[in-house]
């Protein structure tokens, strides 16, 4: 049987940052990825896969999942610097967001803010602790309930692609150390997925695509992971997969933890990416649009990384509401174009955890059970949904396992 120091299941941000840290410490690492690509919740759609090589737009890409990274994502950037690729970062141009009503009118966020209500609420809300409070409770107390309802609730829902009211307030806007060498906001050639491909290219760990982990059993020296290519023995195991998948894999070896994981709620959004000629839509360059009681949570634009001839928009639709043709019609109406103007269209389903205010305490209880164990849980359900949160958790858990 093949034997290695560590098996990591999942090649998204969490898995690749963990693999880089393990390999840096001299550990023999195998990363199992069920799909044919890296990225997980990062999914960069490349037109080169749709058109003939060298054709117009072959260099165009659009994010269908996570779309923005910041220089506060220091663990991710340190891993990229070790690969010698930090200079390849593409700064995003500074652009704003607008709210979009059902009738297509755009509105500035500031026009939805009642400044008097904010001024009255702010002195009483600013000092309140976030732990144990929901986003609705804490931010509603900060700026006033009316401001929360008009401005913050739809804006946070757009960011999270799900209802945000019950989300733990302590997970939003946590301070993280910044890497001054990097732009404040950035992407990468080929999109954010290209950044992860740069982490994997020529790395000192073994990345195996289209190789799913089917089961995990415990052995005297660690674990045995059954994969599509056969069993692999390892001393330590890191699961960088969705929470429900982790629950299934741990059912035989950590039944109590598996039961906890399977109880974590999940949500989904239906992404629709559209590409159209640059001059067709009258909407001015924008970072994104926020839906108001609409069929979509948000629209994310490719405009902050402009292209000479094309524009791209990803609509994150609420699940189960519209079929494909209805989504295309709604997207066309928002952009002020005809559905026939879309040159390329791509759909995908994004699955995300749906944490509530009690979630950080549940995670703390899980971590207490994992203390001293050769198992690490990674991913976007443990300390926040962002790319930076995932990288932060991966670095922390890598350090814990290396110390065992």
Residues 101, 296 contacting (CB under 8 angstroms): no
More confident residue, 173 or 297: 297
The answer to whether residue 121 is domain-embedded is yes
Are residue 284 and residue 348 in the same domain, yes or no?
yes
Are residue 193 and residue 321 in the same domain, yes or no?
no
The burial class, CB within 10 Å (0-12 / 13-18 / 19+), for 105 is exposed
The answer to whether residue 67 is domain-embedded is no
- In whole angstroms, what is the distance from residue 256 CA to residue 247 CA? 10
- In whole angstroms, what is the distance from residue 306 CA to residue 66 CA? 18
Structure confidence at residue 162 as a pLDDT band (50, 70, 90)? very high
> How high is the pLDDT of residue 395?
96
- In whole angstroms, what is the distance from residue 274 CA to residue 62 CA? 9
The answer to whether residue 82 is domain-embedded is no
Q: Is the pLDDT of residue 54 over 80?
A: no
Q: Which residue has the tokens 């117009």?
A: 56
* Short-list 241, 224, 245, 220, CA closest to 233: 224
Are residue 146 and residue 286 in the same domain, yes or no?
yes
Q: How many structural domains comprise the chain? A: 2
Q: What counts of helices (H) and strands (E) characterise the chain?
A: 12, 19
Write b or e for each residue in 77-104: b if 16 or more Cβ atoms lie within 10 A of its Cβ, otherwise e: bbbbeebebbeebbebeebebbbbeeee
Q: Which residue has the tokens 């073994």?
A: 206
Are residue 161 and residue 195 in the same domain, yes or no?
no
Are residue 335 and residue 366 in the same domain, yes or no?
no
Are residue 133 and residue 244 in the same domain, yes or no?
no
Element (H, E) at 352: strand 344-353
> How high is the pLDDT of residue 38?
94
Structure confidence at residue 7 as a pLDDT band (50, 70, 90)? very high
342: phi then psi, degrees, rounded to nearest 5: -70, 125
Tens-digit pLDDT profile for residues 183-231: 999 999 999 999 999 999 988 999 999 999 999 999 999 999 999 889 9
The answer to whether residue 201 is domain-embedded is yes
> How high is the pLDDT of residue 158?
95
Are residue 164 and residue 306 in the same domain, yes or no?
yes
The answer to whether residue 76 is domain-embedded is no
- In whole angstroms, what is the distance from residue 269 CA to residue 349 CA? 6
Structure confidence at residue 174 as a pLDDT band (50, 70, 90)? confident
Average model confidence (pLDDT) across the chain: 94
- Other CB atoms closer than 10 Å to residue 279's CB: what's the count? 8
The answer to whether residue 281 is domain-embedded is yes
Phi-psi label, residue 308: left if phi above 0, alpha if psi -120 to 50, beta otherwise: alpha
Q: Residue 327's domain is classified under what CATH number?
A: 3.90.660
Residues 31, 205 contacting (CB under 8 angstroms): yes
Are residue 251 and residue 381 in the same domain, yes or no?
yes
Please state the rounded mean pLDDT for residues 124-128: 89
Write b or e for each residue in 291-301: b if 16 or more Cβ atoms lie within 10 A of its Cβ, otherwise e: beebbbbbbbb
Q: Residue 369's domain is classified under what CATH number?
A: 3.50.50.60
Tens-digit pLDDT profile for residues 329-386: 999 999 999 999 999 999 999 999 999 999 999 999 999 999 999 999 999 999 999 9
Q: Is the pLDDT of residue 52 over 80?
A: no
* Structure token pair of residue 24: 């840096």
Are residue 199 and residue 327 in the same domain, yes or no?
no
Q: Is the pLDDT of residue 173 over 90?
A: no
Are residue 232 and residue 308 in the same domain, yes or no?
no
> How high is the pLDDT of residue 56?
78
Residues 344, 47 contacting (CB under 8 angstroms): yes
The answer to whether residue 77 is domain-embedded is no
Are residue 343 and residue 227 in the same domain, yes or no?
no
The answer to whether residue 72 is domain-embedded is no
Residues 294, 106 contacting (CB under 8 angstroms): no
Q: Is the pLDDT of residue 51 over 90?
A: no
More confident residue, 162 or 57: 162
**Residue 27 belongs to domain spanning:** 2-45+183-264+355-402
> How high is the pLDDT of residue 30?
97
Q: Is the pLDDT of residue 77 over 90?
A: yes
Are residue 169 and residue 191 in the same domain, yes or no?
no
């Amino acid at each position: 049987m093949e034997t290695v120091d560590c098996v990591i299941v999942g090649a998204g941000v969490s898995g690749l940052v963990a693999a880089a840290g393990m390999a840096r410490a001299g550990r023999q690492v195998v990363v199992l990825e069920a799909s044919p690509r890296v990225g997980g919740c990062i999914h960069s759609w490349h037109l080169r896969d749709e058109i003939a090589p060298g054709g117009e737009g072959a260099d165009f890409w659009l994010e269908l999942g996570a779309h923005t990274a910041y220089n506060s994502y220091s663990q991710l950037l340190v891993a990229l610097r070790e690969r010698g690729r930090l200079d390849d970062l593409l700064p995003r141009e500074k652009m704003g967001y607008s709210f979009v009503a059902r009738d297509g009118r755009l509105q500035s966020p500031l026009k939805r803010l009642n400044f008097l209500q904010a001024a009255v609420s702010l002195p009483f809300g600013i000092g309140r602790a976030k732990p144990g409070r929901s986003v609705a409770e804490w931010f509603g107390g900060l700026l006033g309930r009316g401001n929360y309802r008009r401005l913050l609730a739809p804006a946070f829902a757009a960011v999270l692609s799900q209802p945000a009211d019950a989300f733990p307030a302590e997970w939003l806007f946590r301070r993280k150390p910044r890497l001054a060498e990097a732009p404040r906001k950035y992407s990468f050639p080929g999109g954010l997925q290209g950044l992860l491909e740069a982490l994997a290219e020529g790395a000192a760990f073994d990345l195996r695509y289209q190789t799913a982990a089917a089961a995990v059993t415990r052995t005297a020296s660690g674990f045995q992971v059954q994969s599509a290519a056969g069993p692999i023995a390892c001393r330590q195991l890191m699961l960088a997969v969705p929470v429900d998948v982790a629950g299934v894999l741990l059912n035989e070896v950590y039944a109590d933890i598996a039961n906890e994981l399977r109880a974590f709620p999940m949500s989904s959004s239906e992404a629709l990416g559209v590409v159209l000629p640059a001059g067709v839509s009258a909407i001015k360059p924008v970072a994104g649009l926020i839906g108001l009681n609409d069929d979509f949570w948000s629209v994310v634009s490719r405009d902050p990384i402009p292209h000479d001839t094309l524009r791209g928009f990803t609509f994150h639709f609420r699940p189960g509401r519209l079929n494909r043709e209805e989504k295309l019609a709604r997207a066309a109406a928002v952009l002020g174009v005809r559905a026939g103007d879309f040159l390329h269209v791509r759909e995908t389903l994004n699955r995300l955890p749906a944490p509530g205010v009690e979630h950080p305490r549940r995670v703390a209880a899980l971590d207490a059970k994992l203390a001293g164990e050769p198992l690490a849980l990674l991913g976007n359900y443990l300390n926040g949904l962002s790319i930076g949160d995932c990288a932060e958790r991966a670095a922390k858990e890598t350090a814990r396992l290396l110390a065992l």
